[in-house]
Amino acid sequence: MSKLTKPSIDEILTSKPEARLRIYAWSPDDPPADYVGLIKVGQTTQENVNDRIRQSQGQMQQAYTLHTDPDTFAEREDGSIFRDGDVRQRLINNGHENVLHGSSREWMRCSPQDVRSAIIELQQGLRFETARDQTFPMRDEQADAVDQTFEYYQSRWAEDAKAVPRFLWNAKMRFGKTFTSYQLAKKLGAKRVLVVTFKPAVEDAWQTDLESHVDFDGWRYVSQKSGGDPLEVPADTPMVYFGSFQDLLGRDGNSVKKKNEWIHAINWDLVVFDEYHFGAWRDSAKELFEGEDEAVAKKEIEQEFASTLDKVNDQLDVVGDDEELFLPITTRAYLYLSGTPFKALATGEFIEEQIFNWTYTDEQRAKAEFAKAHPDQRNPYGSLPQMRLLTYQMPDELLSIASGGEFDEFDLNEFFSASGKGVMATFTHKDEVQKWLNIIRGSGDTEAITGLKTGTRPPWPYSDVRLLPYLNHTFWFLPHVAACEAMKNLLEEKQNTFWHDYDVIVSAGTAAGIGLDALPPVRDAIKGGHDTKTITLSCGKLTTGVTVKQWSSILMLRNLKSPETYFQAAFRVQSPWSISNPDGDDPSREEVLKPACFVFDFAPTRALRQISEYGIGLSPGEPNPEKAVADLVSFLPVLAYDGAQMVQIDAGGILDIAMAGTSATLLARKWESAMLVNVDNDTLRRVLDSEEAMDAVSRIEGWRALGDNVIETIINKSEKVKELKKKGKEGELSKKEKKELTEEEREYKSMRKKVQEKLIKFATRIPAFMYLTDFRENTLVDVITKIEPELFLTVTGLTVADFNLLVDLKVFNTERMNAAVFAFRRYEDASLRYTGIDSHEGLSRVGGYDTVIAREA
């Protein structure tokens, strides 16, 4: 793989192209006989439509009359665009003839007024039913996902014909999960596909992809919304049923509603769980909407995710991969889809051979490599903007009023704290927030003095001419409703004349509507995005599953703990904005209007911690955390302003800053985490089936006290509990069986916890060993292969071979342990540097952040 060139700061702050699609209609002044009464309808992104008309005439230049205004834009009132083909289709629907001349389909037999009327109707929002006219093939990575999943299913069925294999697609937004899932179903020869989502708003995408592409001609789509009876679909007709957990499950979240009991009557070929990062939603969903009023937040969570979410999560925490316990159906295979499956990856719920990864890094690497290899071809990734993160250290006078917490860093929630409602809402620190508004325009007193001293002017968001075009439509993510309303009030005050050019929309609170109901006011304000400027203020709404292509920047103005929440929100501005085939004569051309998008963050340490966790968390196959982060920032450049200058930070610097404030106590907690070990039935079975593994675990301190058959007992009792629960779903359990269920469940859970505790106790000895050895470990592989075996045995009680075997059997969560090993190494390095020892040659400290940046080779 070729090495990609690191962009300069000027390249990171790339200029934004401007283009609008224009519709035009013309006819020759002296037409040949077969052109009499015809008008040509076309489109172009060129500013002068007359130039485009003359280009289309080629060498046969002739006088003509333009029947439309030169600035007739192909934009609807909601901001979407239409094309010249839509105008012609409207004319055809009105009874006008589409006359073909050779390969040209652009000539219509109609009057100029007919054309202008058709354009006005489309501008006012007229749309047509989607035809099955999509013919695009799968991209390479989509075909790889289908092939890998298909091969894994086949291998499992070859081992056990009754096996029900599970596979996870860790694929970011814009991968095309719906289209690719249907391609997998087609390759499987599936006739009955059930799509279950934890986020009902995605239904339109599932229906559109099935009904618009020629590959799925003859397939039937059924849902509660679309109507139809699934049981009446002929057996030989492929059928997809779409349902949400709200629709399917009863109030207790543990039984199918009576109206949906037909679901048991179908033997499904494939069940797809969409938006499967719900395992992290219990915390991140609450974090996302914690700024909303309690009643609104509850409704938001129910609509955005699922009203039965907590019940489903509770079930999954107990049953692991036994999906039939919370969705009692029969199927041949399961497919899980998610853009941020952090919990599933971190807990080892899926092993490596069960995961297909397509991350933001993969996407952007494919974009760069395709452009280099095929410079004259349309880049299928070309419209996907590259993200850039810009962080800013606030002046001391602002830091002083809102710093604290675990890492003593800038507290955005405190800084933007507010009270009151509507026009009465105001910031607690109003004067300081006003100073911040001045600063991000580059007009603060401190910034002026710093500029004079350093001779530089940092790229503040609303002052740098390269950034301003990306800030015409922005999303400001604030802590709570009062802060959103206070910000709108402050922006509209008389002294803030600069901000009066922007239409400020408060997308927070009851008045904004629940869920997607908050979207229309935003689109109404943005329209086409060319003649308007908007700022959308939100504390949670519109941060997941929403596409507003004109949003090009997001300002992170609230504390967020989970990288899922942070990047779900950040990816709102990565939606592509482009015009394909702009002049109507070259399908391979694409006019990209948003080559980049920006995240602005004013809590640098927090921001870089999120980058670090995101890079490590979504690269489960990468044993070196620093390389995982390096891969990410090669396509997500990070610029940091330290109060004096703007510098670009590499992976080592990001990790140093992200781990700033890490203490020995915090490191110890990492090694005491239950996430470090896997004690599910599948893992325990692998240990039980290996005589060497059983000998190894028996040498762990305190293991023998658990009893000779502890693993076998746990497996047997949990299987018995599963059978009793299944029986309970089919009918009433006897009083004796209910008591037995309670006792058996309590007993096996207690035993499993004790096994977990023994394994964790062993794990806590690894950092003690690492402290004693002279070797600087990066990853778990280093611990296993590059250490002193006699010292390892003395400290931990196991041989290196024992430990290696247990790691191979997934007893230890490799990803979590890698992170803990790596954190220990960086903490140890920092301690050594403090005493004047540097364990890593070739490193130098630069920049106001005291960042460690590796010298170029």
Model confidence pLDDT, tens digit, residues 60-107: 788 999 999 999 999 988 778 899 999 999 999 889 999 988 778 899
The amino acid occupying position 110 is C
Q: Quick one: average pLDDT of 331-337?
A: 92
Let me know the angle formed at the C-alpha of 647 by 641 and 648, rounded to the nearest 5 degrees.
120
CA distance to 113, 358, 839, per residue, from 340 (Å): 52, 11, 35
At residue 595, the 3 state secondary structure works out as coil
Q: Which one is predicted more confidently, 10 or 333?
A: 333
| Residue 132 near residue 213, CB atoms below 8 Å | yes
Three-state SS string over 751-816 comes to HHHHHHHHHHHHHCHHHHHHHHCCCCCCCHHHHHHCCCHHHHHHHHCCCHHHHHHHHHCCCECHHH
The upper half-sphere exposure of residue 295, i.e. CA atoms within 13 Å in the direction of its Cβ, equals 4
**Running DSSP on this structure, what letter comes out for residue 233?**
S
**Whole-number Å distance between alpha carbons of 113 and 119:** 10
Q: What are phi and psi of 328, to 5 degrees?
A: -75, 85
For β-strands 473-477 and 534-538, DSSP reports them as parallel
Q: Quick one: average pLDDT of 390-413?
A: 77
Q: pLDDT tens digits, residue range 155-204?
A: 999 988 988 899 999 888 889 999 999 999 999 999 999 998 876 667 77
What dihedral do alpha carbons 478, 481, 483, 486 form, nearest 10°?
Answer: 130
**Whole-number Å distance between alpha carbons of 283 and 524:** 33
Bridge partner residues of 538 (DSSP): 477, 507
pLDDT of residue 172: 85
Which pLDDT band holds residue 455 (cuts at 50, 70, 90)? low
Q: pLDDT tens digits, residue range 572-595?
A: 999 999 998 898 888 888 899 999
Max alpha carbon distance in the chain (Å)? 101
CA distance to 433, 615, 749, per residue, from 813 (Å): 45, 18, 20
Q: Say whether pLDDT at 842 is over 50.
A: no
Which pLDDT band holds residue 650 (cuts at 50, 70, 90)? confident
Residue-wise burial string across 775-806, b where 16 or more C-beta atoms lie within 10 A, e elsewhere: eebbbbbbbbeebeeeebbebbebebebbbbb
Q: Taking the CB of residue 98, how many other CB atoms lie within 10 A of it? A: 15
| Residue 303 near residue 513, CB atoms below 8 Å | no
Residue-wise burial string across 574-596, b where 16 or more C-beta atoms lie within 10 A, e elsewhere: bbbbbbebbbbeeeeebbbbbbb
Q: What are phi and psi of 72, to 5 degrees?
A: -90, 105
Please name which of 533, 530, 469, 547 lies closest in space to residue 505, comparing C-alpha atoms.
533
178's tokens: 């719906």
**Running DSSP on this structure, what letter comes out for residue 674?**
G
Three-state SS string over 547-563 comes to CCCCCCEEEECCCCCCH
140-358 belongs to which CATH class?
Answer: alpha beta
**Whole-number Å distance between alpha carbons of 529 and 552:** 11
Residue-wise burial string across 380-398, b where 16 or more C-beta atoms lie within 10 A, e elsewhere: bbbbbbbbbbbbbbbbeeb
Helix (H) or strand (E) holding 257, with range, is none
| Residue 811 near residue 683, CB atoms below 8 Å | yes
Q: Which one is predicted more confidently, 109 or 136?
A: 109
pLDDT of residue 828: 55
> What distance lies between CA 816 and its chain's CA centroid?
21
What percentage of residues in the chain have a pLDDT greater than 90? Answer: 35
Q: Strands, DSSP E only, in 480-547? A: 503-507, 534-538
Q: Say whether pLDDT at 330 is over 90.
A: no
Please name which of 757, 710, 720, 715 lies closest in space to residue 742, comparing C-alpha atoms.
720
**Whole-number Å distance between alpha carbons of 510 and 421:** 11
| Residue 839 near residue 827, CB atoms below 8 Å | no
Could you state, in order of their start, the residue ranges of all structural domains in the chain? 22-123, 140-358, 362-661, 669-677+764-854
With 0-12 CB in 10 A as exposed, 13-18 as middle and 19+ as buried, what is 688?
A: middle
Q: Taking the CB of residue 628, how many other CB atoms lie within 10 A of it? A: 26
| Residue 144 near residue 171, CB atoms below 8 Å | no
Q: Which one is predicted more confidently, 187 or 736?
A: 187
Q: Say whether pLDDT at 311 is over 80.
A: no
* Residues contacting 37, CB < 8 A, separation 6+: 109
Please name which of 148, 137, 164 lies closest in space to residue 356, comparing C-alpha atoms.
148
Q: Say whether pLDDT at 482 is over 50.
A: yes
Q: Which of 258-262, 414-418, 460-464 has the lowest mean pLDDT?
A: 258-262
Q: Say whether pLDDT at 834 is over 50.
A: no
* Distance separating the N- and C-terminal Cα atoms of the chain: 18
For β-strands 270-274 and 334-338, DSSP reports them as parallel
Cα Rg for the chain, rounded, in angstroms? 30
Please name which of 441, 444, 362 lies closest in space to residue 398, comparing C-alpha atoms.
444
Which pLDDT band holds residue 131 (cuts at 50, 70, 90)? low
Which pLDDT band holds residue 640 (cuts at 50, 70, 90)? confident
For β-strands 239-244 and 192-197, DSSP reports them as parallel
Please name which of 349, 344, 373 lies closest in space to residue 140, comparing C-alpha atoms.
373
251's tokens: 């109030």
Ranges of H-type helices in 623-764? 625-633, 651-658, 664-671, 681-688, 691-698, 710-730, 735-763
User: Do 362-661 and 140-358 have the same topology in CATH?
Assistant: yes
Only one residue has tokens 């609807």, namely: 76
Q: Say whether pLDDT at 319 is over 60.
A: no
| Residue 362 near residue 155, CB atoms below 8 Å | no
The amino acid occupying position 149 is T
**Whole-number Å distance between alpha carbons of 439 and 234:** 65
Q: Say which CATH superfamily domain 362-661 falls into.
A: P-loop containing nucleotide triphosphate hydrolases (3.40.50.300)
What percentage of residues in the chain have a pLDDT greater than 70? Answer: 75
Q: Which pTM value belongs to this model?
A: 0.76
**Whole-number Å distance between alpha carbons of 244 and 221:** 15
Q: Say whether pLDDT at 820 is over 50.
A: yes
Q: Say whether pLDDT at 851 is over 50.
A: no
At residue 480, the 3 state secondary structure works out as coil
Q: Taking the CB of residue 426, how many other CB atoms lie within 10 A of it? A: 15
In terms of residues, how long is the chain?
Answer: 857
Q: Say whether pLDDT at 557 is over 90.
A: yes
